[in-house]
Structure formats: C-alpha cells, structure tokens
Structure 1
Amino acid sequence: MGSVRFNPFAPGRVRRRIGVVALAVLGGLLATALVLGGVPDPRRTAGPTPGGGEPGPPTVGPSSTAGAVLPADPPPLPAPPPPANLPVIDYGPAPRGFPADPDPMSTVRLDEGLRPIRRVAAYDAPGGRPRAWLAPTISGVPVTMPIVERRSGWVAVLLPSANRTIGWVPPGTWTTTALPDLVVVDRGGRRLHWYRDNRLVDSWPVSVGAGATPTPLGRTFILGRSSLPGRVYADTEVFALGAVPDDPESVPTGLRGAHIGLHAWYRDAHLGRANSNGCVRITRRAQQRLLAELDPGTELLVLDRFTAPARLPGPPAV
C-alpha cells in the first residue's frame, strides 16, 4: 500500500500643594530635610548598593534603553474582506492560486505552528487576495500548520492537501503552538531521521515511493492519524501527512484522493527499498514510538540526499 485515506479520531496617590511661602519658611524646611537625612541626589539610584553602602549613580551605556523611544512596529497590512463563498481547505485537493513555499528543502526546523480557533481566510500574499478558508478541523481532527514566514503582521503557513505551497493569514482568530520535532526522510538513502530541538534522537530504515509513484520532495507536516488496522500496516495507526501524490493519476485507482502517509509495514525485510505508492514505510516498533512522541503539525522534510548531523543548524540570529 502507499497513499492513505483519512479516518481520524477525536483526540495614594498623594497630592501636594505647593504655595508661595516666605524665605524663612523655606529655609526652615530645608533645615528639616537636612536633619532627616539630606536632600536626595537625583543622580543616585534608589535603594542600597549590593555592598550595603550608599547607592551609586545609574549605569548608562550603549546597551541602556533608559529614556529611549523605540520605534513602533508598523500596523499590519489590512486584509480585504473574504467572501463567504470561498472554498474550505479540507482533505481534498487544495484550491489553486496560492504561492509556492519559498524554501521547500530547508533543514531549518519550523518551530511554531498555527491553530485556527474559528474559520480564518488564507490569502495569496499579505494584503492580497483571499483564496480559501482554513477551518479549525479537517474531518474532525484539529489542524496545526507550521509557520514558514512572517511579514507585515501576517504569517505564512504550509497548506494541507497541497505540496510545497503556502497561504498567508492575517492577525485574527488563531493561536500558536511550539513544534519541537522535525522528521527528515532521506529518499535516496532510504532512511528516516528524527530530531527534537535540533538534536538527533533516532534513525531507522524506511521504504519510499517507487519510480512511478515517488514520495514528494520538500517539507510537509503531520496532518493527523488514520486508523487503518490490518496485517500490512502492522496493526498500528498511520500518520496522514499534508502532502498528496505529485501525480494523483499515477497511484492505483483505489488510492485516488488519498494523502501520503507515514506508517508501519508488516515485513521489515521489505524496507530500505523504493517500492511504495508514495508513502514512507517504517518498522512497527519505530512507528509506535513516533506515534507516542510526535504531535500534529510536526514538520516532515523529504530530501533526495541527506547526511544526518548530530545537530541541525538553528534559525539565523535576529
């Protein structure tokens, strides 16, 4: 088997009055202040010093922001109102008109995901044209999409049911969640590498798509789980990915409209080959571990060749 169909489950204030007083009265007040401890020096900071002595002057240096006026962030680009009849992205093919992923083969982990709280429109650019609705769930499963880019107050996410494609989302009814994991599939070397916080956790042999039905390259994500019991799937659940076959007509008729999956296989001896309908097959024990550890929205990256370092590079410093 290769592509999989989705069959998800529900987881005092003090006021001072200052009047005009005689010079003698003012002198008396100053004398009283001196008796009580002196007139405070405005150049000194309040409170004792760490050594218990008199407080010293405040430290002012290049890194101090005291008194500085920081530039305000520009307001987000406005979002044109979306029409109510926009298509909703679901498990079927995503609507056209969305832009390509700007860096589909990047090994820099996508560490944050977007979760719609209510239906939110996806646009083809910040302030651009609304193309489709993103719903909080697909087939009843809560959706988390990795965030690829931020610009002008908007965020771009990897879209489900489309390969190497993003949609732009304005500020609105959504929240974010951390994504600590990254799964890298070496299509040429036929091996899967699992990273958490950019450190290699484990690695296993896998099978990938055959020549006629290759596993799509680039980054996608775990959309949800499917329950496909049976001997060939080693009686474990299947991860349904956001990716679909690059050539939907190349897969067997019974798998048309299905998504690429990550799943166990009933015979380990069949692994390490290019013999699936596009899915990534893995050992039963490895699949059980990943099912226990990986959350929806976790990025899965398919590369033709990948030499697995013990640690992946982090995002560039800002």
Structure 2
Amino acid sequence: MAGWRRVGAAVGVAVLLGGSAYAGWALTPSAGSVGQSGDPTVAPTATLSAPLAGESIAPAAPAPDDLPEIDYDPAPDGFPRDPDALDTTALTRGVRPQRRLAAYDAPGGRPIAFLMPTISEVELTIPIARREAGWTAVLLPSANRRLAWLPPGGFRTVQLRDQIIVERVPYRLTWYRDGVAKRSWQVSLGQRGQETPLGRTFVLGRTPPPESVYGGVDIYALGSVPDDPESVPSGLRGAHIGIHTWYHDGELGQRTTNGCIRLTRSGQRLLLDQVPPGTPVVVVDKLPTPPPTA
C-alpha cells in the first residue's frame, strides 16, 4: 500500500483503485482540468439566482456558522435520498458554487452543511437533479444516492453535454454526448462485498496515477464512496470510487476491484480528453436495451 502523498499545493485525497491496492494523492487543480473555459464540451455559464416568473419560493432558514463543510470525507448524515437514483435520463445542467452555500434537506427545510466552491482545490461542478419551489437539488458529493437542496443565489449553472453509464451485469461502460452513445468499453468492477455502488453520481475531478500499475494515465475520482466502508481494507476507509485503467487488460469483465471502474488505457485517455468534471455517471445493473455501441 502506498501512503498519502501531496502534489503541489493541493490537498491529498484517496480513490479506490484496483484489487486491494491503495494510493493517496491530490486531485489536479481546476487550472489543469478538462472542461474549463474554452473547452468545447462545456457551454457558457449563466446565473440561476432569479426565480422563474410567477414561481413561489420556499423561504430558507438561516444556516448556523458552525455547520460542517462538505469536502472529500464522507458527507454528513441527514440529506434526503435521491428518489431517481437509477434513472438514466441525462442530467444536462450543473451547479458551480460561487461562495459558501448552505445545503438543506428539503426546499424550505433544515440546513445540514455548507457546500463550498471547491473540493481539494478543484472547482466543483455538480449535476442538477431537480427543481422545486424555487429551489435546486444537486447530487450530493462524497455520498451515495443523496441530494442536497439549494435556495436561489450564490451559484452559476453550466450545460452538461456528456454522460457515463456503467452496467454491472454486462461489465460495460458507455459514454454519451448530447444523448447519443459514442463509445462502449468492457470494464472490471467491484468484487463481492465491495460492489461498485449503484445510482447517480458524477466526475468530481482527475488525478495523476500514483504508480506504474495504473498504466500512466490520469484517474477520475467520482462523487461516490463505498456503500459499506467496513467491507474495504482499513487503508481504503474514506476513499472515493474511481474510474481508471490498469497495467493489463486481463481482468476486464470480472469483479476484481474494491468498487472502482477499470477500463482500457485507450478508453480512459479518450474519456480524459473529452469528458469534463461535473459529468453525470449512473451505475445500473443493466440497461433495458444495449446501447448501439455495445
């Protein structure tokens, strides 16, 4: 097992990788990430502070200053379940916080924690799951199948063109753009007891590979975490699920990881080149109809 390490001034974080291996490292700061200004995969941002015409807005209770901040560690309890966790309908808008935002358990509900503009020095882009009573629900970072509700103001929105769908039964990852399947790859997934978590999440950021076994290709850290933290080795506690490659392809189509999603080096390079942070990821058992790229 490799220990925690830091890259530049970024904060060290952990991602679940292949087999029983563990590595700690830093997410690449936003200036070096894909999907930034000038990237054709991302549309210009626009404010979403004003309510829709005639929309009644549920008032927001004041948030105490001592609420926890949502970071790379597991998110605080109390946030509601995502009622559409297995819905593969593309989420096409994302939130980018411009300041510290109070995150609530419902429109007009109870404040639980603060959502920050960055996590581990990476600019945060979170898919929007729904809107209600003038409020916006986003997929909660560092948690599985949970939503955070935001009142109007303090954030901007960005169009999300891409989507990744992972099917556990056929061991398949498919990349979509503007609702069209572009490529599919066979993948390795979580072993028994450490299954790749089902549900909607998103690409939190990317990080350099810590060791040569990861094929020399950057890794995506997702917003999701192990469903059962006690099932993974002690060195993996607090780690996130990752999408990455491996030094060989002999385990594709098998359950050999600690929950991560492992694909070919060429596939990972293509995703890194085309798919920006904030991109929604949905893990399901199987799609009703295989994508045309399968």
The residue aligned with 2:158 is 177
Return the index of the structure with the highest Cα Rg: 1
Cα distance change on mapping 1:237 and 1:78 into 2, 3 Å: same
CA contact (8 A) 1:236 1:284 kept: yes
In 2: Cα distance, 1:72 partner to 1:290 partner: 39
CA contact (8 A) 1:199 1:310 kept: no
Q: TM-score, normalised by structure 1?
A: 0.77
The residue aligned with 1:92 is 73
Cα distance change on mapping 1:162 and 1:309 into 2, 3 Å: same
2:141 aligned residue (152, 160, 168): 160
TM-fit CA distance, 1:252:
1.3
Question: What are the superposed Cα offsets for residues 246-287 of structure 1, whole Å, 9 maximum, x if unpaired?
Answer: 001111122111000000111011211111000000000100
3-state SS of 1:156 partner: strand
The residue aligned with 2:171 is 190
Structure 2 residue 263 is matched with structure 1 residue 308 = no
In 2: Cα distance, 1:260 partner to 1:279 partner: 5
TM-fit CA distance, 1:309:
3.3
Structure 2 residue 67 is matched with structure 1 residue 9 = no
TM-fit CA distance, 1:8:
1.2
- The one-letter code of the counterpart of 1:110 is L
Unaligned runs of 5+ in 1: 12-70, 312-318
3-state SS of 2:273 partner: helix
Structure 2 residue 117 is matched with structure 1 residue 136 = yes
Segments ≥4 residues shifted beyond 3 Å = 1-6
CA contact (8 A) 1:6 1:258 kept: no
In 2: Cα distance, 1:241 partner to 1:4 partner: 15
3-state SS of 1:305 partner: coil
In 1: Cα distance, 2:124 partner to 2:147 partner: 15
Structure 2 residue 96 is matched with structure 1 residue 101 = no
CA contact (8 A) 2:23 2:210 kept: no
TM-fit CA distance, 1:5:
4.4
> Percent identity among equivalent residues?
53
Question: What are the superposed Cα offsets for residues 109-137 of structure 1, whole Å, 9 maximum, x if unpaired?
Answer: 01100010000010000011000000000
* CA RMSD across the alignment: 1.5
The residue aligned with 2:132 is 151
Unaligned runs of 5+ in 2: 1-16, 32-51
TM-fit CA distance, 1:228:
2.3
If each structure's strand is expressed as a fraction of its own residues, which one has the higher value?
2
- The one-letter code of the counterpart of 1:7 is A
3-state SS of 2:213 partner: coil
> What is the aligned residue count?
252
In 2: Cα distance, 1:189 partner to 1:212 partner: 18
Cα distance change on mapping 1:190 and 1:184 into 2, 3 Å: same
